Amino acid sequence: MEHQQSLTEYVLRSGARTAVLQAIVDGSETTRALLNRDLASESAVYNALTELENRGLIHSPRTKRWAPTGTGSVVSALVREQRKTERVLRIDIDYWKRHDVTALPSSDLLRIADLTGGTVIRATDTHPSRAVREVERRLETTTSASVIAPIFNERYSDALLDGDGDARLVLATDVLHSLLATTDATVDEDLNVRVADTSFALTVTDDGLLLSLPLLDGSYDTQTEFVVETDRARRKGNELFEAVWADAEPAAEYVESMETDLT
């Protein structure tokens, strides 16, 4: 792993090495093809080819044609991932400074790089419900909704029920406890609900993904939503939801077990 990291850093320290490696991985096989792409000055391209070959990242299986080695392909993928991640962080630097990314599962189900092309929807003084309304609007118009909620919001529940499609909800366990202890609040029986420990919010609809991370102090942030309308984000969001859903317990069974423990 350390060797891979050092190779990645080596490539990234030079714009020419980065550009040449990516171009070869993308199919630019000849030196002339690389020079025609104006990746860098002619001397920089030649130097990059020599350096990448010496590091075992590219090779010449055929005369005057370049191809990535296995290591080169791996390093190229790591470089692309890092650049995508940095682009997402630059979308809204303040958002990532104030929110706890570690609330997301530590896996490849959903990575920051998968959120490329997103935007942050914020509440404002003149529109204090802007973020909430954005979630509501999407829930009302989608034909399929998968929601992970660390809080219970009646507006979201109503929007789910008012929509024309299928909906599934994973509710935080402590929220369910609070609902059961409150006489005027219940989880509607028409909702397909499961229970799990969660501190982040996720909504996957027909047209994208909405993500809400907790603040650094652990509190839930109702003022912002990170919205991404790409097929990749939606697909990765569905994968994350399905993993959480599979481990979650049906709400009815959870309540029944609680009642059994009390008797």
What distances in angstroms separate CA 72 from CA 38, 58, 61, one per listed residue?
Answer: 21, 6, 14
Over residues 221-249, the mean pLDDT reads 95
Q: What tokens does 62 get?
A: 């055929």
Q: What three-state secondary structure class fits 55?
A: coil
Comparison of pLDDT for 184 and 142, the residue scoring more: 142
pLDDT at 176: 80
Over residues 140-165, the mean pLDDT reads 79
Over residues 126-144, the mean pLDDT reads 90
Over residues 180-188, the mean pLDDT reads 59
pLDDT for 141 beyond 90: no
Architecture per CATH, domain 92-262, reads as: 2-Layer Sandwich (3.30)
pLDDT band for position 190 (50/70/90)? low
pLDDT tens string 59-103: 997 777 999 999 999 999 999 999 999 999 999 999 999 999 999
Q: Element (H or E) spanning 71, and its range?
A: helix 70-91
Q: What is the pTM of this model?
A: 0.80
Q: What three-state secondary structure class fits 219?
A: coil
Least confident of 14-23, 29-38, 168-177, 189-198: 189-198
> What's the rounded Cα separation, in Å, for the pair 249 and 197?
10
Q: Where are the domains of the chain?
A: 2-80, 92-262
Over residues 227-231, the mean pLDDT reads 96
CATH of domain 2-80: 1.10.10.10
Comparison of pLDDT for 133 and 2, the residue scoring more: 133
> What's the rounded Cα separation, in Å, for the pair 154 and 191?
12
- % of residues, the chain, pLDDT over 90: 64
Please return the burial class of 227, using the count of CB atoms within 10 Å of its CB with bins 0-12, 13-18 and 19+.
buried
pLDDT for 263 beyond 70: no
pLDDT for 261 beyond 70: no
pLDDT tens string 35-65: 999 999 999 999 999 999 999 999 997 777 9
pLDDT at 1: 44
pLDDT for 186 beyond 70: no
Q: What is the mean pLDDT of the chain?
A: 88
pLDDT band for position 155 (50/70/90)? confident
